[in-house]
Amino acid sequence: MNILKKILLFFIPIKFVLDKYNPIFLYHSLGRASNFNSNIDHVDLETLEKQLRYIQKYWKFVTIDEYIDTKDKKGLTSLTIDDGYKNVIDDAFKVFEKLEIPITIFINSSTFNGKIFWRDKIRYLIQNNMIKEFVKYSKLFKESDVNNFYFISKSTKFNSKQVEIELDEFILRKNIDLNTEHKLCFDNTKYLINHPLINYGNHSANHYFLSSLSKEEQYKDILECKNFFGKF
């Protein structure tokens, strides 16, 4: 491929995005990844910094509130991080400080009570080749769900609350000890640091797949997290 074609293939998509869109970027786990190997939800620090520096060439990072309140968003972007993984503060925050990028972390408040995030329970079963066994035990899933289980388990067909109940029953039945090293999300208020670059948001108490829940269950899960923030 000649140089001109390479330039055109690179420039045209960027120009199109710049002219048409003002994106919000979303991350999850960032930094060390002992329990996130090869997972789509994880980005290592070297890749993170490269991505952010590239984005800064075309957009200015602002807080999510400023982004929403600004009518003319041309040239602006914002960065959010879901689930409140500890490595965001322990590892990755130094990158955001270095590049002076404001972030909003949406937390699942139930993890502050020592609960393990239900998606991390699924990741554990996948990494330990236990999905087939779990599906055989399950009353919700069938054998054809095994191969794409990570994504299927978030389908609206399956009430997330009921999925977690089955997960907990299976883990107890197998006598699996998900100890401290598997508590990957914020579990201590020390992670709610007061810093001008950080804002925190409501990601519901358990971060169930909300459209799989009843309206009453949705309301309760969101309200529980709101009440958690009300303590501070």
Half-sphere exposure of 110 (CA within 13 A, CB side): 15
| Measured distance CA(24)–CA(70) in Å, rounded | 14
- pTM for this one? 0.87
- For residue 39, what are its two tokens? 């997972």
Name residue 61's beta-bridge partners.
77
Percent of the chain with pLDDT over 70: 88
pLDDT given at position 111: 96
The whole-number average pLDDT for the span 184-202 is: 96
Mean per-residue pLDDT over the chain, rounded: 89
Which residues, other chains included, contact 171 with Cβ-Cβ below 8 Å and sequence gap of 6+? 121, 178
- For residue 122, what are its two tokens? 């699924």
User: Collapsing DSSP states into helix, strand and coil, what is residue 104?
Assistant: strand
Q: Is the pLDDT reported for residue 3 higher than 90?
A: no
pLDDT tens track for 118-161: 999 999 999 899 999 999 999 999 999 999 999 999 999 999 99
Q: Is the pLDDT reported for residue 13 higher than 90?
A: no
Could you give phi then psi for residue 211, rounded to 5 degrees?
A: -70, -10
Residue 32: pLDDT band by 50, 70, 90 thresholds? confident
| Measured distance CA(217)–CA(181) in Å, rounded | 29
User: Collapsing DSSP states into helix, strand and coil, what is residue 20?
Assistant: helix
What architecture does CATH give domain 3-114+185-229? Answer: Alpha-Beta Barrel (3.20)
Percent of the chain with pLDDT over 90: 78
Q: Is the pLDDT reported for residue 35 higher than 80?
A: no
- For residue 13, what are its two tokens? 């998509």
| Domain definitions of the chain by residue range | 3-114+185-229, 118-173
